[in-house]
Amino acid sequence: MKRIIFPLLFLIASSTFAQFGIRAGVEFPTIVSSGTNNDINYSGTSYLGGLFYNFQLNEKIGIRPEIQYIYARNIDDNVSLNNLLIGNQLEFTTVITYQFANRWYALLGVAVIEFITSDDIDDNAISPKGGFGFKLSEKMALEFSMSYGIGDRESTEQKIFKDSGKISYIITF
């Protein structure tokens, strides 16, 4: 197995189709909780920044793992910060990209959001993610994406759900 993994990792790292990049943007989330202490209901504007590694499998299809830091602002007084500090989030995403036109591409994947918490509630949200991007140039693009938190929102188990729309500017190196 090691004989296969190490050459594959070297191939991925040295590929001419692989690119590192950064992103910055704005997010419009809705964050709610389920359970007996159903005290989280937030909608507002958040800002994000992140890093990604884009590996093109061919000219049309790519895989892109990324990490984003998201900062939510204007947290209203109804949110219990003792249960959840939604102002700081880390999002780990992996998407598959498909270039369907000269400058347009679609993306589809999954996101795992880690909230910074001060309680023992389940502080991860899992969301399928989809969207599209428009290449402004060979190294720059605008992306529009949506995600929807999955799970039983009527459950008595304390759980957090996040739905969001994002607009991002990305640069690859």
Residue 33 in any domain: the answer is yes
Domain span including residue 63: 17-172
Distance CA 161, CA 24 (A): 23
Q: Would residue 3 count as lying in a domain?
A: no
Quick check: pTM over 0.75? Answer: yes
If one counts the domains in the chain, the total is 1
| pLDDT > 70 in the chain, percent | 73
> How sure is the predictor about 151, in pLDDT bands with cuts at 50, 70 and 90?
confident
Assess if residue 109 is contained within a domain. yes
Mean residue pLDDT of the chain comes to 81
Using one digit for the tens of pLDDT, what is the confidence trace for 14-60? 555 678 999 999 999 887 777 656 566 777 788 999 999 999 999 99
At 70, which CATH number? 2.40.160.20
Residue 2 lies in a domain: no
Asked whether residue 12 is assigned to any structural domain, the reply reads: no
